[in-house]
Amino acid sequence: MDHTALELIELGAVFFGLGLLGRLAGRIGLSPIPLYLIGGLCFGTGGLIPLGDIGEFTSLASEVGVVLLLLLLGLEYSATELMTGLRRSWMGGVLDIVLNAAPGIAVALILGWGPVGAMVMGGVTYISSSGIVAKVLSDLGRLGNRETPTILSILVFEDLVMAVYLPILTALLVGVTLLGGLEAVAISVAVIAVVLVVALRWGRYVSMVVDSPDREVFLLKVLGAALLVAGLASALQVSAAVGAFLLGIAISGSTAHNATRLLEPLRDLFAAVFFVVFGLNTDPRAIPPVLGWAIVLAVSTSLTKIATGWWAARRAGIGKLGRARAGAALIARGEFSIVIAGLAVSYAAVPNELAALATAYVLIMAVLGPIAAKFVEPVARALQRTPAHQ
């Protein structure tokens, strides 16, 4: 068969399969991320039917997926909201780092993956999935709850931490010296500070540059700007994902709202490809040996996220039921954890088992998170019930 014809057939099968998996996820009320990862595992290295003719396209598409994921995440926040969230949640955010990065670091060191592997796994277990959490809160009708601002503040803090963490991780993966690492951190902090100042003072001008009444022109300008900024950020060792996130922050008002509506279908498409590609590059035969560790991490970091949300909500004066809801809402891990693991694997700086562990961990947490958020309230009410109420 002609090579181009075979590529089109495989690509069409991948997209159609993703559509079926997405519909199945919607039917059972779960995030599609675990199913996309499983789909990649089935058709990648060591899978049922390896796909070998679309690697070049899917590799680039997955990079675009990361850029769009982070761009739309940035579009959800204004610079003012970020600063307010940072002031409100910094103590809970610091506790979040300590409690939730520690299990990943400990497991990586126990498995002999060294300091770089420890930093990667610390990031994988630390960061909650903003996309899954936001969808769960919306689906459960909790966006107006008293604990929701606390949850969102923790997520904002995590996103800002990622803006510093990813450039540092990239520098370590490249193998720079201590001086080079400090330089990467300095550049990252400087870029973030400049973008926040620009967004606070001149954000409307950034929005004016990319805005257009014509949908086609608007799409081309926003997407082109995102890829340009991501590429320049990557060249400065600041991380393409962070560059896209910062551009999203700089775009504000109705322009941000319109850009989100226009880019959401593209984000969903390319982000799905990103998760599938990560699965394609992970040998499913490597998962059983690390499945026990994935379960250990899932249990421990579920408890630490609950503790984080409980403490932050308590500090905000929220009752016990709201504290339990806040903690359970933060359990889900997803896109950022896979972005971190994928970045490490792309530089071949960590063992292949790390990708397998990250995949198994995210599969568990992306399923466990929404379930915990849904059932935490009836469970908490049952635990609070006294014999007098029975």
- pLDDT per residue over 31-62, tens digit each? 788 888 888 888 766 555 666 556 667 778 88
Q: What is the pLDDT at residue 160?
A: 78
Q: How far apart are CA 194 and CA 163, in angstroms?
A: 13
What are the tens digits of pLDDT across the range 328-341? 999 999 878 988 88
Q: What is the pLDDT at residue 390?
A: 45
Phi, psi of 195 (to 5 degrees): -65, -40
Q: How far apart are CA 366 and CA 362, in angstroms?
A: 6
Say if 296 falls within a structural domain. yes
Say if 386 falls within a structural domain. no
Q: How far apart are CA 246 and CA 71, in angstroms?
A: 8
Instruction: Give the number of other Cβ atoms within 10 Å of residue 315's Cβ.
Output: 15
Q: Which domain CATH number covers 271?
A: 1.20.1530.20
Q: What is the DSSP letter of 282?
A: S
Q: How far apart are CA 182 and CA 194, in angstroms?
A: 18
Decide: helix, strand or coil at residue 18: helix
Say if 389 falls within a structural domain. no
Burial of 175 (0-12, 13-18, 19+ CB in 10 A): exposed
Which of 7-21, 106-120, 227-241 has the highest mean predicted lDDT (pLDDT)? 106-120
Q: How far apart are CA 18 and CA 37, in angstroms?
A: 10
Say if 287 falls within a structural domain. yes
Q: How far apart are CA 328 and CA 297, in angstroms?
A: 16
Does the structure show a pLDDT above 70 at 387? no
Q: What is the DSSP letter of 121?
A: H
Model's pTM, two decimal places? 0.78
User: What is the percent of the chain with per-residue pLDDT over 90, rounded to a whole number?
Assistant: 25
Say if 387 falls within a structural domain. no
Q: How many domains does the chain have?
A: 1
What are the tens digits of pLDDT across the range 121-150? 999 999 998 778 877 887 788 878 888 888
Instruction: Calculate mean pLDDT across residues 208-213.
Output: 89
Full domain range(s) for residue 15: 3-380
Does the structure show a pLDDT above 70 at 109? yes
More confident residue, 221 or 188: 221
Average pLDDT taken over every residue of the chain:
83
Is 343:169 a contact under the CB 8 Å cutoff? yes
Q: What is the pLDDT at residue 1?
A: 62
Say if 388 falls within a structural domain. no
DSSP labels, 293-326: HHHHHHHHHHHHHHHHHHHHHHHTT--HHHHHHH
More confident residue, 322 or 350: 322
Say if 184 falls within a structural domain. yes
Does the structure show a pLDDT above 70 at 311? yes
Instruction: Give the number of other Cβ atoms within 10 Å of residue 169's Cβ.
Output: 23
Does the structure show a pLDDT above 50 at 15? yes
Q: What is the pLDDT at residue 10?
A: 77
